[in-house]
């Protein structure tokens, strides 16, 4: 909750006139407690989880060669009931694990000092913090994910996520509740190390959710602007991990490819790509 009663008080505290964005933030957040603002994450995650996969669902249900030629595993086709079933299962996981996790983690948010006060962070600050969050999450997720592929972790926890050997957008957060908590720690580690503003934290959770949906979409579009990001894995990279299945010891990283390259856990994927390239040239 902001310690100002009026915009004038806020401007005196900041030492300048508020920007348009800061005025909006003041009007929205001034009367809301910090715990309520933090719990907005639950709403944002669910909204973006619901909306982001819809274009991919529509493309698959259309059964059009215009889109099917970009499907990574074209032989695997899902019906409307398949998508709905996955959505309902994930909704249950949101209620069981994601919501309580957000609520009970608020004391940590207080402790590390993620702020809701004015001024708002600059665009440069937000960008640099998000970059740090992605790098920290990717590295920690790599090792936690790799750990979950050990015999006990896979059989008791991670096998749930691998029920989808051909990923779909709605299956991005489809997992055992324990995996939600374990890999959720990787997403939380960046803000824990480099705490920022609540707006940056919201944006991080939204962007990470959107990236996870894209990675599990099952489609690889050659014109995607995401391919311009250095070392970005994308849907094709992660799809291979699901295609190989439970015995997969390849492509563990969540976002980038450098960890798998450094630690040698992308050999199968590289062999597949090189073989495909040779066949295309013949």
Say how far apart CA 215 and CA 174 lie, in whole Å: 13
Mean pLDDT for 89-107 is 88
Q: Is residue 282's pLDDT more than 70?
A: no
Cα 216 to chain centroid, rounded:
10
Q: Is residue 280's pLDDT more than 60?
A: no
Task: Express each pLDDT in 85-94 by its tens digit.
Answer: 999 999 998 8
Task: Express each pLDDT in 125-158 by its tens digit.
Answer: 999 999 999 999 999 999 999 999 999 999 999 9
Q: Is residue 281's pLDDT more than 90?
A: no
Q: Is residue 173's pLDDT more than 70?
A: yes
Better-scored residue on pLDDT, 87 or 8: 87
Q: Is residue 52's pLDDT more than 90?
A: yes
Structure confidence at residue 276 as a pLDDT band (50, 70, 90): low
Structure confidence at residue 1 as a pLDDT band (50, 70, 90): low
Q: What is the pLDDT of residue 127?
A: 97
Say how far apart CA 214 and CA 220 lie, in whole Å: 9
Count Cβ atoms within 10 A of the Cβ of residue 209 and give its class: 0-12 exposed, 13-18 middle, 19 or more buried: buried
The secondary structure of residue 97, as a DSSP letter, is: I
Please give the mean pLDDT across all residues of the chain.
91
What's the predicted TM-score (pTM) here?
A: 0.92
Cβ count within 10 A of residue 84: 12
Percent of the chain scoring above 70 in pLDDT: 96
Q: Is residue 278's pLDDT more than 50?
A: no
Q: Is residue 20's pLDDT more than 90?
A: yes
- What tokens were used for 32? 């809301």
């Amino acid at each position: 909750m902001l310690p100002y009663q009026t915009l004038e008080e806020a401007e005196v505290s900041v030492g300048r006139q508020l920007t348009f964005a800061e005025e909006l933030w003041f009007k929205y957040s001034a009367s809301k407690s910090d715990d309520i603002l933090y719990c907005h994450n639950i709403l944002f995650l669910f909204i973006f989880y619901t909306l982001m996969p819809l274009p991919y669902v529509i493309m698959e249900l259309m059964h059009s060669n215009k889109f099917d030629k970009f499907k990574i595993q074209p032989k695997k086709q899902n019906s409307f009931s398949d998508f709905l079933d996955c959505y309902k299962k994930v909704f249950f996981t949101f209620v069981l694990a994601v919501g309580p996790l957000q609520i009970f983690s608020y004391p940590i948010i207080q402790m590390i000092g993620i702020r809701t006060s004015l001024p708002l962070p600059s665009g440069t600050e937000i960008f640099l913090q998000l970059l740090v969050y992605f790098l920290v999450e990717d590295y920690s997720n790599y090792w936690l994910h790799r750990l979950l592929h050990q015999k006990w972790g896979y059989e008791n926890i991670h096998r749930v996520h691998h029920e989808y050997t051909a990923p779909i957008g709605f299956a991005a957060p489809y997992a055992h509740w324990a995996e939600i908590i374990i890999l959720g720690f990787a997403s939380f580690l960046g803000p824990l190390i480099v705490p920022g503003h609540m707006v940056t934290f919201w944006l991080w959770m939204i962007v990470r959710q959107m990236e996870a949906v894209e990675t599990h979409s099952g489609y690889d579009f050659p014109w995607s602007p995401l391919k311009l990001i250095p070392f970005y894995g994308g849907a094709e990279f992660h799809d291979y991990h699901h295609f190989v299945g439970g015995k997969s010891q390849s492509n563990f990283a969540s976002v980038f490819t450098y960890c798998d390259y450094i630690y040698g856990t992308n050999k199968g994927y590289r062999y597949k790509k090189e073989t495909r390239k040779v066949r295309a040239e013949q």
